Structures are given as C-alpha cells and as structure tokens.
Amino acid sequence: MLDPKLFEDFSARLSAIVAASPVADIEKNARALLATFFTKLDLVSREEFDIQAQVLLRTREKIKSLEERIARLENKPD
C-alpha cells in the first residue's frame, strides 16, 4: 500500500513548483478576468435567488387567497 505521506510530500512539492512558475500568474490573471466578466453579467447569488423565490411564492399565495375572497364576495347574496 502507498504511504499517504508520499502523496502529501508530492503535492507540496508540486504546489511549490507551480507557485514559482508563470502558471501561478496565469491562474491569478484568469481569476481576475473571470471575476470581472461575472461582475458585468449582473448575476445574483444563490442566497438572493432563494430569498426572491420565497417572496414570489408568498406573493402567489396571497394573490390566490385574495382571488378566492373576491369570488366569495361577488357570489354573496345581498
């Protein structure tokens, strides 16, 4: 069986090599470019989306309740 320490050592060495190479700069620049791109897309977070979905659900329930109430009032004999 392979020693997990061997993998940890290999991973640490590989990370050090990547950090010292131009790959780290490319990754940093790519992340900055993507962050700028996503900012321009006017996206919302998952949390905000879930909150708005809950607000919409409550609004639909309220509208349904009000429609039922109006229907009962319109059918009410005078």
Domain residue extents for the chain = 1-41, 44-78
Task: With H, G, I as helix, E, B as strand and everything else as coil, classify residue 1.
Answer: coil
Q: What is the pLDDT of residue 39?
A: 77
- Smallest Cα–Cα separation from 16: which of 25, 7, 24? 24
Percent of the chain with pLDDT over 70: 90
Calculate mean pLDDT across residues 4-27: 76
Q: What is the pLDDT of residue 56?
A: 98
* pLDDT tens figures, 36-66: 887 777 778 899 999 999 999 999 999 999 9
- Smallest Cα–Cα separation from 23: which of 13, 15, 32? 15
Does the global pTM surpass 0.85? Answer: no
CA distances from 78 to 41, 66, 70 (A): 56, 20, 15
